[in-house]
Amino acid sequence: MSLIFSRWWPKAEGEITAVDVERIRHSRGSDTLVLAVAYKFSVADDGPYTGQSFWPPSFFVNRRVAAARHKLHFRQAVGVRYRSEDPNVNKLDRDVWRAL
């Protein structure tokens, strides 16, 4: 529930540590692709903290995930939103997904 309000959490600069395309198999035989992005960030002198966010586009899913995979890369700077009381609860800033 708290992730819904993450747009108001503090923002830190992070760095992508991995970008993967995950395949989700459905019982009816089709597959859906999801972009998985792992990252790390620090808050002042604390950290590094790590996280992973997933991007399942709403339409043209497989084509958009494949194209997005080439726009994100290892060590790319990204914004990360984190809960101030517990930075272990975090997610990529919405601007990362908007750029895709």
Reported as type and span, the H/E element at residue 50 is strand 46-55
Question: Which run of H or E residues covers position 97?
Answer: helix 94-98
Q: For residues 4-8, give the mean pLDDT.
A: 71
Q: Looking at residue 81, which CATH number applies to its domain?
A: 2.40.50
H or E element that contains 87: strand 86-92
Q: What is the mean pLDDT of residues 53-80?
A: 88
pLDDT tens for each residue of 69-90 = 889 999 999 999 999 999 999 9
- The number of distinct structural domains making up the chain is 1
Instruction: Choose the most confident range, by mean pLDDT, from 1-15, 57-71, 84-98.
Output: 84-98
Look up residue 59 and give its two tokens: 């339409």
pLDDT for res 5: 64
Domain that holds residue 21: 2-98
The answer to whether residue 16 scores a pLDDT higher than 70 is yes
**Contact criterion met (CB below 8 Å) for 91 and 81:** yes
